[in-house]
Amino acid sequence: MGPRSLRAVLAAALWVVFTALAEVGVEALIAHFPVVASSQGELIDETFALLLRLTAPVFAFVVTVLVVSVLGAAQARREAASGPARYPRDNRYFSWTWFVVSLALNVYFVFGPGVTDVEAIVLGHDRPASGDLVVEAQAHQWGWDFAYPELGITSKTLVLPAGREIHFVVTSKDVIHSFWVPAFRVKMDAIPGRENHLTVTTTRVISTNDDMTARVQCAELCGLGHPNMRAGLEVLPPDQFQAWVEKTKSEETTTSGGR
Ligand SMILES: [Cu+2]
């Protein structure tokens, strides 16, 4: 085995080792993803995990080239001292393979059905389907108001039933804000004079008291109070949600009756 092929074998071995290490790191990262509480969020997490796993060998390849180049620098210097610089010849086979593989990967990710399910996420943005619970989320400097038009109640905390499809109608009273719930992995601009729609299917009971990813947070710089522009989130079992609705209804009747 000549020195060149020995170097190639060593580089390939290094690549395998670095890839294995990177994949271990990636798996540890995936295991520590924040709490997810919507089916759309689960889809987004799966896609993110897939991309991370596929990126690991690419990252390992770059590190391998770096290490091999640094280690080979002394030899390259010796070779350079003994004559003019030498470059590898154009390799058309390599260029074409590179082009075709990356093109195929891109096409697969963009158009492959079920690969990223981008379509499934985007489709929910149109209008409420029957059976959806409609929640109007109105942003203002600096806070949130939630209204449940079908139930005739309002709330400062976003209270939702678990296991339901929720249809958000996102608006703003003054400037541009953004409705963001980290635990749902979704975000929607809140724009004055415009209704934006967003569908989320809740998958589990979660509360701001237990996990800070369960909160509504403004995600668009909107003035001095922006960092503190958040609201609590409670996703309750359906019967507890119903009880909350009844309680809120009776409280609102008492308040307006007392005026
Ligand atoms: Cu803001």
For the chain, what is the mean pLDDT?
A: 87
In a domain, 102, yes or no: no
Q: Is residue 30 part of a domain?
A: yes
What's the gap in Å between 173 CA and the centre of ligand 1? 12
Distance 227 CA to ligand 1 centre (A): 7
For residue 170, the CA-to-ligand 1 centroid distance in Å is 14
Evaluate the CA torsion angle 77, 81, 85, 91 in order and state its sign. Answer: negative
Asked if residue 238 and residue 137 are part of one domain, the reply reads: yes
User: Is 86 within the bounds of a domain?
Assistant: no
CA distance 3 to 5: 6
Q: Does residue 111 belong to any structural domain of this protein?
A: no
CA of 16 to the centre of ligand 1 (A): 45
Quote the pTM value: 0.76
The type of residue at 183 is A
Distance 136 CA to ligand 1 centre (A): 18
100-135: b or e for each residue (b if 16 or more CB lie within 10 Å)? eeeeeeeeeeeeeeeebbeeebeebeeebeeebbbb
Q: Residue 229 Cα, ligand 1 centroid: separation in angstroms?
A: 6
Give distance in angstroms: CA of 129 to centre of ligand 1.
Answer: 29
Query: Exposed, middle or buried, 22 (CB in 10 Å: 0-12/13-18/19+)?
Result: buried
Tens digits of residue pLDDT in 131-179: 689 999 999 999 999 999 999 999 999 999 999 999 999 999 999 999 9
Q: How many domains does the chain have?
A: 2
195-228 pLDDT, tens digit per residue, is 899 889 999 999 999 998 999 999 999 999 999 9
Same domain? 144 vs 62: no
Q: Per 3-state DSSP, what percentage of the chain is helix, strand, and coil (rounded to 5)?
A: 45, 25, 30
